[in-house]
């Protein structure tokens, strides 16, 4: 059995994993992590957490002395929905819910599933593990294709208020590109997937902010997190031959440049007015600067500065990891961008000159080792469900050297 093989991997051979804990790192995690073995453990965990999603109530803010007990009960509850032929999703769970039943929005369900699928396909699995991963990802592809056709929460339409559709649109494009690249769809089904990619790109066109680019929180200002990540996906779509017009990309790049300082720190949203503290920008500088760099609008020196900002700000990011709440003083850091920052710092490292990459990869691996839980997973939220997203992001960060390079954009 596939998942019984998980028990055959010795956790002792993986280094010294950190214990589960909010805002903490393991000070004794000094033995180098056996990266390939750690990735396999994490990937097999992801295969076991794919679920058949049914609406469930949000938890809200809990007293700290009740949090651990709730997390254990929630993990037990989720385990009853995970696995099986009807499991097709890895929903990303945050504090934002929609509808009368307060369900996880479809943008998070599609986006979370796409990120985990990318990690599984990029994890370097072999044999039965790879067969199981491909089958699981194909179920998610089928779920996304159905959602594109039938789910009004993903419909085409202008940006309006707090609106997370764009995460599903962008990462949905990424998932479907991977389905084509990995031969998960063929013939007529592949044609339908290509049509869905065109459709999702059109939905991204309709969802831009007034400044260009994308923002889940407002319609009048660009978000460096969302815009940087979406641009990288659209660069890849263009490289695959899909129609992505220059005006869409250039306006998004212009919007990013409104928010950047000389130190490669970015305003959380919109135009930078004065200095922006790098610790607050540490998780977003790499993704935004990488997008600008790949479009010829930033230098290698700028990219180095953004990457260094991530490492310099890591301790401040760690303070908010796995904590309740969202944006807290002094830097307005929210927990949910902790592993997002690791992944895009890793992608940015791979755009540096080759001679510079190895040392930076080692630094990033050491940081990921510090926050790996005793079971070989990662989580930057209080929600047990979100360990799938965080673990997937960590796999992508560790596997970044082996992943296909992100396409460049020939900017004006």
Question: Given a cut of 80, is residue 162 above it in pLDDT?
Answer: yes
Residue 340's pLDDT band (cuts 50, 70, 90): very high
| pLDDT computed for residue 24 by the predictor | 59
| pLDDT computed for residue 25 by the predictor | 61
Q: How far apart are CA 344 and CA 322, in angstroms?
A: 19
DSSP letter at 210? Answer: T
Over residues 344-372, mean pLDDT: 98
As a CATH number, domain 33-53+62-402 is: 1.50.10.20
Question: Given a cut of 70, is residue 210 above it in pLDDT?
Answer: yes
| More confident of the two residues 298 and 57 | 298
Q: How far apart are CA 76 and CA 270, in angstroms?
A: 41
DSSP letter at 313? Answer: T
Alpha carbons within 13 angstroms on the beta-carbon side of residue 51 total: 23
Share of the chain above pLDDT 90, in %: 76
Bridge partners (DSSP) of residue 89 are: 51
Asked whether 386 and 93 are in contact (CB, 8 A), the reply is yes
Residue 32's pLDDT band (cuts 50, 70, 90): low
Q: Angle formed by the axes of helices 387-399 and 354-370, to 10°?
A: 150
Question: Given a cut of 50, is residue 175 above it in pLDDT?
Answer: yes
| pLDDT computed for residue 158 by the predictor | 84
Q: How far apart are CA 114 and CA 142, in angstroms?
A: 12
Question: Given a cut of 80, is residue 220 above it in pLDDT?
Answer: yes
Bridge partners (DSSP) of residue 51 are: 82, 89
* Structure token digits, residue 174: 């990424």
- Mean pLDDT of the residues in the chain: 90
- How many other CB atoms are found less than 10 A from the CB of residue 396? 22
| pLDDT computed for residue 9 by the predictor | 38
Residue whose C-alpha is closest to residue 286's, from 354, 368, 347: 347
Residue 26's pLDDT band (cuts 50, 70, 90): low
Over residues 262-277, mean pLDDT: 85
Question: Given a cut of 60, is residue 206 above it in pLDDT?
Answer: yes
* Structure token digits, residue 186: 């063929």
Query: For the chain, what are the domain ranges?
Result: 33-53+62-402
| More confident of the two residues 60 and 305 | 305
Question: Given a cut of 80, is residue 310 above it in pLDDT?
Answer: yes
Q: How far apart are CA 38 and CA 393, in angstroms?
A: 13
Question: In residues, how long is the chain?
Answer: 412
Three-state DSSP state, 366: helix
Residue whose C-alpha is closest to residue 260's, from 220, 222, 218, 304: 222
By CB atoms closer than 10 A (0-12, 13-18, 19+), residue 173 is buried
Q: Please write the tens of the pLDDT for every residue from 59-72.
A: 888 899 999 999 99
Q: Which conformational region is residue 322 in: left (phi greater than 0), alpha (psi within -120 to 50 degrees), or beta?
A: left
């Amino acid at each position: 059995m596939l998942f019984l093989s998980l028990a055959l991997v010795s956790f002792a051979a993986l280094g010294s994993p950190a214990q589960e804990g909010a805002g903490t790192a393991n000070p004794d995690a000094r033995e180098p992590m056996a990266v390939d073995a750690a990735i396999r453990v994490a990937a097999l965990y992801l295969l076991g957490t794919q679920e058949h999603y049914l609406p469930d109530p949000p938890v809200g803010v809990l007293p700290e002395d009740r949090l651990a007990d709730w997390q254990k009960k929630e993990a037990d509850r989720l385990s009853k929905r995970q696995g099986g032929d009807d499991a097709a999703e890895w929903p990303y769970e945050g504090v934002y819910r929609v509808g009368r039943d307060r369900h996880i929005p479809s943008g998070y369900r599609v986006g979370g599933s796409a990120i985990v699928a990318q990690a599984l396909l990029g994890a370097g699995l072999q044999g039965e593990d790879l067969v199981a991963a491909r089958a699981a990802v194909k179920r998610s592809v089928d779920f996304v294709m159905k959602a594109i056709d039938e789910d009004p929460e993903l419909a085409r339409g202008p940006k309006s208020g707090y609106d997370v559709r764009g995460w599903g649109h962008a990462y949905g494009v990424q998932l479907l590109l991977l389905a084509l690249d990995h031969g998960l769809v063929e013939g007529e089904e592949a044609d339908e997937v290509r049509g869905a990619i065109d459709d999702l790109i059109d939905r991204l066109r309709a969802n831009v902010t007034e400044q260009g680019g994308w923002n889940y929180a407002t319609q009048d200002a660009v978000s460096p997190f969302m815009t940087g990540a979406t641009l990288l996906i659209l660069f890849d779509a263009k490289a695959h031959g899909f129609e992505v017009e220059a005006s869409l990309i250039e306006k998004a790049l212009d919007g990013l440049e409104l928010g950047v300082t000389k130190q490669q720190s970015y305003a959380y949203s919109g135009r930078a007015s004065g200095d922006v503290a790098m610790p607050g920008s540490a998780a977003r500088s790499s993704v935004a600067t990488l997008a600008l760099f790949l479009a010829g609008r930033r230098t290698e020196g700028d990219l180095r500065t953004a990457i260094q900002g991530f490492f310099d700000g890591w301790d401040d990011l760690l303070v908010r990891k796995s904590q309740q709440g969202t944006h807290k003083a002094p830097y307005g850091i929210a927990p949910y961008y902790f592993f997002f920052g690791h992944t895009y710092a890793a992608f940015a490292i791979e755009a540096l000159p080759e001679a510079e990459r190895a040392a930076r990869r080692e630094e990033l691996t050491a940081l990921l080792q510090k926050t790996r839980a005793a079971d070989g997973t990662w989580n930057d939220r209080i929600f047990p469900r979100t360990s799938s997203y965080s673990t997937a992001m960590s796999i992508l960060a560790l596997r970044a050297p082996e992943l296909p390079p992100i396409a460049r954009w020939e900017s004006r």
